[in-house]
A and B are shown apart, each in its own frame.
Chain A
Amino acid sequence: MKLTWIKIFLLGATVLALFAHLYTKSSSVKFAEHDRYERGLQRLKQLDTSFNVDVLKARYRLLNNYDGFAEQLRESSETLGDLRRIPVFVASAGQARLGLALTNFSRLLAQKQESIEEFKTQNSVVRNSLAYFPTAGSELVRKASVTPDGRELQLAFDELMRVILVYSLTAQEELEPQIQMSIGKVRAWADANPAHADADIVLGLVAHARTLLLRKPKVDALTSRLVSLPTGTEADAMLRTYQQEFARALQVTQTYRLALFLCCVALLGGIAWAIRALRQSNLHLEHRVRERTSELSGKNTELQTEIADRKKAEEERQRMEVQLRHAQKMESIGQLAAGIAHEINTPTQFIGDNTRFIRDSFGDLKPLLDAQTRLLAAAQAGPVPPTLLAELESAAKTADVDYLSEEIPKALGQSLDGIERVTNIVRAMKEFSHPGTTEKTALNLNRAIESTLTVCCSEWKYVAEMVTDFDVTLPSVPVLPGEFNQVVLNIVINATHAIADVVGDGSKGKGAIKVSTRRDGDWAELRIGDTGTGIPESTRVKVFDPFFTTKGVGKGTGQGLAIAHNVVVEKHGGTIHFETETGKGTTFVIRLPLQSASQERKAA
């Protein structure tokens, strides 16, 4: 499982890396950069063109200030500096080519700068001379033509002017010797006429002619050099090179884009596949869920049936329990019935016998009483006939008065005893079979126990001595009287049986049952100990289990102690445990709270 996650993670990372790489490569052409660079190259070309235009304009006196040259050169060199930052998407070979071209261009630019400075210097002078020469020359020729001695000067100067004019407009270097010759002629005139009014101007014009001759070829050479410096073609070449490089970079980018696109398509396909698989598995899942749901609902029904069954079983069990408890009660009552019947029967019997004896005795006494009555009557009437006395004496003898007067009170006393015994038993029975209440009643435990012991007296009295040790200060304890009596009865009967197992029918001496009560703080403690067999170790844990019994079939239901546990622990919130030693006996200890939980709650 772990390995799968790692695999998924690695796969994801690889895919991401691939996409990142492809994306970076496909977006490597930065159009802002391209724009900057292409514009720079175009600007360079533009500046070069306008520079050349300005050179020509300046040469032909169409440009009257030189500020533009410096500006254009400054901007060119700035642009060149900017162009040295070649966009990174240009491949290294292209970078090298462009770098070389830029170096070459800046060299050309330096040459251009050098030439333009000289051009300005020379051009300004040539320009002034050319401007001055025709006007001053024409004036001189005009003045010379009106003076008689000016003919020679006019001719010489006319020629010089004409040649200079042609020379100024063309680049015909072959005119130079002609100009030199004309200058020589003018100069000769000036030398011949040093005092002439215009001699100074003539010499000035000669100087200008010489200046033109010296400087004009330079200007022309500089002009053609400036214009033919291959900056323009170089700029074009750079632009072309760059555009090729850009196209190549773009193509590379396109390739990467295509790759990216394909990868995207693949990824989308994968996602689609995954979605389809997911949907299918979803369908499968839904199907499974439906299956499971139906399964579950089946199970649910089953469960509900089961729950109902359980409930029914529980009810059944409870009913059975009730029945069993009832049966147990019946059982104990049944068991007791014989004993109780005997207990009642014995006094009833001797009460009957005594009563019959008294009735018979009275029959014996009747003649005596009659004789006495007659004697009394005779005595009252006169003297007492001796016959009557004899009759009385005989009657007295017959009746055996001495015996009767001794036996009758005895019989009466015996009968009264018997009646009391029956009354006691009936009362105990009445108390034992206290009508089952669901409400706890404050009960004098000592008295209740005594009643129970009385009720089952016939059970134990042949096998055991009953020793009671009641704590008279024990307060009333809230209990369910019927249930409590049942518990005591069950334990005492068990004790009796345990002792009986040891002592047999009691002819060889009895065991003992010791019942004691005491108060232990908030608890009432009841101990019922016997000198019976004790509980064997193997069965100790099962003592309180329902249906567990060691008694023979028909003798016990196995419910007694289970009921006792249920009553003490669950119904009264008390505890029940036993202390036992095999062969020595068992003592059950029942502890009941002096205050029921509900009372406690009220008290709180």
Chain B
Amino acid sequence: MKKIITLLLSAMLASARVSPAWAQQPVPVQARTPAASAGESRADEPIKPIPTTLKLNGRKVALGSKLFHEVRLSRDNSISCASCHSLEKGGTDRRTRSVGLKDAEGSINAPTVFNSGFNFKQFWDGRAENLETQVDGPTQAEAEMGSKWEDVLQKLRADAGYSAAFKDSYPDGVQRQNVKDAIAEFERSLITPNSRFDRWLRGDDKAITTEELEGYRKFKSYGCSSCHQGVNVGGNMFETLGAVREYFAERGNVTKADLGRFNVTGKEEDRHVFKVPSLRNVALTPPYFHDGSAKTLDAAVRAMARYQLGRPLPDADAALIAKFLQTLTGEYNGRPL
């Protein structure tokens, strides 16, 4: 213990000299919002605002957008990525579980595609390290888009428009890794900055109401922000669903998908462990949780308090927190979602 304290002290001293990587992230400055008001420093808040701009390859983004909405990525040319990740529905399909080829119901709730580039890993169980790898999942899954890469590439190559567009960005034209790269680049562009809460974080006191601010305080004091923190208000760690109280024992009917990260690592401690989802635009993406069991934001907040925090949550506080969560809805391409 002594060693750890010494280390801590020295580390804190060192931190004054060596700024950690996250602190080096450029803090996007937004012109229309005033600088942080005096008195309250919001740089220390657990939640960080979404940068307003990203450096991306415009041509790849455009190509990725086309591919994202391309039904030929599915076996029978019936569905596209956007079918389950509709940009009009907060990047989801608002279904409990997604529906794939021939109305086959998937095993899990579709997470939002918005801000997915900020997630530390992809999928509920975090089995994909990045967005590129993630593309393999839904396109090849039998119950989702059910394609084989050879078929997809053949279909895309037959299209002169795609051949030309690929050639513009990739010397080797239509290739599996290029399709994935373009889609990933497009997905990285799906950011929703300028939410009211981000504006408040950047110093605009009037961006959120007193109630919403109170909700944010509750959000922190109840311990929600222990997991839902960072730029994406989540999406940077794993947590057991039912950390304090047995979620699955109470819900029952445990499926393979409910095993979460255990399916990836096979480790007992990863049973029922899931990636903590982002709460960005959470008001737009019901139902909630991997099983879509919480139909409303309020229900989700209550379930979280029960199973994750293990503490009673008065209705008033739950409502306040839900109100705060509404302030996390941002803008896509300059328009409110």
Chain A residues near B (Cβ < 8 Å): 46-47, 49-54, 56-57, 59-60, 62, 64-72, 75, 117-118, 120-121, 124-125, 127-129, 131-132, 136, 170-172, 200-201, 204, 207-208, 211, 220, 223-224, 227
Contacts and interface: CB of A to CB of B under 8 A. Distances in A.
Interface in B244-297: 244-245, 269, 273
Contact of A211 (B25, B46, B237, B310): B310
B38 interface: no
Interface in B49-68: none
Contacts of B8: 56-57, 59-60
Given A53-B14, A68-B23, A132 B309 contact: yes
A49 B18 contact: yes
A204 B313 CA distance: 12
Contacts of B239: 121, 124-125
Contacts of B237: 66, 117, 120-121, 124
A53 B236 contact: no
Contacts of B12: 53, 56-57, 62
Given A65-B236, A66-B236, A117-B238, A128 B223 contact: yes
Nearest to B227: A124
B104 interface: no
Given A67-B236, A117-B237, A211-B310, 14 more contacts: A50-B21, A53-B11, A53-B18, A53-B20, A68-B23, A75-B21, A124-B227, A125-B243, A127-B223, A171-B1, A204-B244, A204-B311, A223-B4, A227-B4
Nearest to B240: A121
B337 interface: no
6 contacts: A66-B230, A67-B48, A67-B231, A125-B308, A128-B223, A132-B311
A569 to B, nearest CB: 91
Given A52-B11, A53-B20, A207-B244, A136 B4 contact: no
A64 B310 contact: no
Interface string B65-97: 000000000000000000000000000000000
B4 A56 contact: yes
A47 B21 contact: yes
B20 A211 contact: no
A118 B269 contact: yes
Nearest to A210: B244
Nearest to A227: B7
Interface string B297-337: 00000000000111110000000000000000000000000
Nearest to B221: A131
B25 A71 contact: yes
Contacts of A120: 236-238
A224 to B, nearest CB: 6
Contacts of A125: 226, 239-240, 243-244, 308
A369 B117 CA distance: 180
Which 7 A-B residue pairs are closest in the complex by CB-CB distance? A68-B22, A128-B223, A64-B46, A53-B11, A65-B229, A67-B230, A120-B237
Nearest to A72: B21
A523 B23 CA distance: 120
B226 A224 contact: no
Contact of A50 (B1, B18, B236): B18
A207 B236 contact: no
A224 B6 CA distance: 12
A71 B311 CA distance: 32
Given A121-B237, A208-B244, A170 B1 contact: yes
A121 B260 CA distance: 14
A72 B223 CA distance: 25
B120 interface: yes
A68 B223 CA distance: 19
Contact of A53 (B15, B25, B46, B47): B15
A127 B226 contact: yes
A70 B236 contact: yes
A57 B225 contact: no
Nearest to A169: B1
Contacts of B45: 64
Contact of B4 (A47, A64, A70, A171): A171
Interface in B1-39: 1, 3-4, 7-8, 11-12, 14-15, 18-23, 25
Contacts, number: 132
A125 B23 CA distance: 24
Contacts of A129: 244, 310
B44 interface: yes
Contacts of B11: 49, 52-53, 56-57
* Most chain A CB atoms below 10 A, which of B22, B48, B223, B312: B22
Nearest to B231: A67
Contacts of A223: 4
A151 to B, nearest CB: 24
A124 B48 CA distance: 18
B229 A64 contact: yes
A65 B22 contact: yes
Contacts of A53: 11-12, 14-15, 18, 20
Contacts of B223: 127-128, 131-132
A64 B225 contact: yes
Given A56-B8, A71-B21, A124-B237, A65 B310 contact: no
A59 B7 CA distance: 12
B221 to A, nearest CB: 8
Nearest to A215: B243
A200 B312 CA distance: 9
Contacts of A211: 243-244, 310
Contacts of B273: 121
Given A67-B230, A124-B226, A204-B310, A50 B15 contact: yes
A258 to B, nearest CB: 40
Contacts of A227: 4, 7
B4 A224 contact: yes
B311 A136 contact: yes
A220 B19 CA distance: 24
A171 B3 CA distance: 11
Contacts of A200: 312
A60 B269 CA distance: 23
B158 to A, nearest CB: 37
Contacts of A46: 18
A204 B312 contact: yes
A172 B1 CA distance: 9
Nearest to A136: B311
A196 to B, nearest CB: 15
Contacts of B227: 124
A60 B12 CA distance: 11
A68 B23 CA distance: 8
B286 to A, nearest CB: 24
Contacts of B243: 124-125, 211
A285 B311 CA distance: 111
Nearest to A170: B1
B32 to A, nearest CB: 25
A50 B46 contact: no
Nearest to A171: B1
A230 to B, nearest CB: 14
B21 A68 contact: yes
Given A125-B243, A207-B310, A57 B229 contact: no
A499 B236 CA distance: 145
A172 B236 CA distance: 30
A417 to B, nearest CB: 132
Contacts of A207: 244-245, 310
Contact of A128 (B18, B20, B226, B231): B226
A46 B237 CA distance: 23
